[in-house]
Amino acid sequence: MAKKKKRVDLKKNRSKPARDKGWTRGFQQHGYTEEAPVSAERVRTKGDLSRKRTIETDADSDHMPRVDQTLCLPGRVVTVFGLDNLVQTADGRRLRCKVRQVLKSLSTDERSIVATGDRVWVLPVSKDEGVIERVEPRHGVLTRASRGREHVIVANVDQVVIVMAIREPDLKLHLIDRYLASATKGAIQPIICLNKVDLADPVALQPIVGYYSQLGIPTLLTSATTGQGIERLRNLLRDRQSVISGQSGVGKSSLLNAIQPELALRVREVSEVNQKGKHTTTTADLIALDFGGWVVDTPGIRQFGLWDTIPEEVEGFFVEFRPYVSLCAFPDCTHTHEDRCAVKKAVALRYLSEQRYFSYLGMFSGDGQVAGPD
């Protein structure tokens, strides 16, 4: 494979140079002087904040360093925990790995340079340990915004199973819509799993199942307690690379235990005080399924902000809006406040879901706090 050298940006250490900390000591020794302090001469790179480094990359790589494949092993990140990563190599070994410092120093918007599901190259340093030297390009990513940075929940998956409980905690349809938007951005097939149906009347859920099914999204009613929907979910996971995600307490681990009892994943009850789930799964773990395929069990998420999304592209996440968009009076209609808006009219006539429209408003405004109808 052809190689090349490339200048890459590194993270900035600070926004401005550190100030001289010897002023107090100088005053105590010499008192005030009429002369202005002589500034120290500094040799700095062009631009106070510029930090760059030349690395050798493959011709098809944007910024990842080239590795010696005679010394390194290909592998996949199974778990990320703190500063360490558990990587399963192609020969079946599992190595506890650190990340090469140059990778951690690369300038990126990501919260972490390595995510569960990443395909990596590892340099073994002992029988059980190694160093991640390179992360391969990703496909099929599920991401969210986290404190102003991109949180890659999982990489290199085919589909996301969005698990929501009917009760304990209560169903949040706007959160489903945010997952669907992120799945669209990450090129992942979504599956909606409405869990704990043993706690509610399934008939009342049919309008929700029907609406999302009409959008082409498989929508299941499941219960780990009664076994309802478990076989269908197992078939959807078979021979696929999947991620199971949702709030804490919705029953993600319970569903995986029902699908493959040998996993024996820990589960906990929902808090009786605030109906919020307690975090049982604390890391995103890549799990091999005995009937074929892999699944990532992720920690519960209570907020799901879209990453790198501008208001003008939110419309594209709602496929049912498309027949009406061209009928709006203004070509740049935002469907929020304009007169003669075909989307708003379709919502008023109940051609479009009012709940989905409120989800659109929340994503468009960027806060996700727009309340939907009761």
Q: What is the pLDDT of residues 264-322, one digit of tens each?
A: 776 655 444 444 445 456 688 899 999 999 999 988 887 888 998 999 999 999 999 99
- In this structure, the strands spanning 52-58 and 3-9 are antiparallel
160-200 pLDDT tens trace: 999 999 988 889 999 999 999 999 999 999 999 999 999 98
Query: pTM score, two decimals?
Result: 0.80
Instruction: Provide the domain limits for residue 328.
Output: 311-365
Neighbour-count burial of 98, counting CB atoms closer than 10 A to its CB (0-12 exposed, 13-18 middle, 19+ buried) = middle
Domain co-membership, 177 together with 123: no
Specify whether the CB–CB gap between 208 and 173 falls below 8 A. yes
Q: Provide the pLDDT for residue 300.
A: 83
Domain co-membership, 223 together with 169: yes
Q: What is the CATH number of the domain that holds 189?
A: 3.40.50.300
Domain ends where: 88, 107, 136?
A: 136
Residue 22 is assigned to a structural domain of this protein: no
Domain co-membership, 196 together with 288: yes
Domain co-membership, 221 together with 316: no
Return the amino acid letter for 59. Answer: A
φ, ψ (nearest 5 deg) of residue 47:
85, 125
Q: What is the CATH number of the domain that holds 343?
A: 1.10.40.50
- Six-digit token string for 122: 């590892």
pLDDT at 241 > cutoff 70: yes
- Six-digit token string for 271: 């808090």
Domain co-membership, 93 together with 183: no
74-110 pLDDT tens trace: 999 999 988 899 999 988 899 999 998 888 877 577 8
Residue 24 is assigned to a structural domain of this protein: no
Specify whether the CB–CB gap between 158 and 242 falls below 8 A. yes
348-370 pLDDT tens trace: 999 999 999 999 999 999 864 44
Query: For the chain, how many structural domains are there in total?
Result: 3
Domain ends where: 136, 152, 171?
A: 136
- Angle at Cα 276 formed by Cα 289 and Cα 226, nearest 5°? 45
- CA torsion sign for 352, 192, 158, 249 is positive
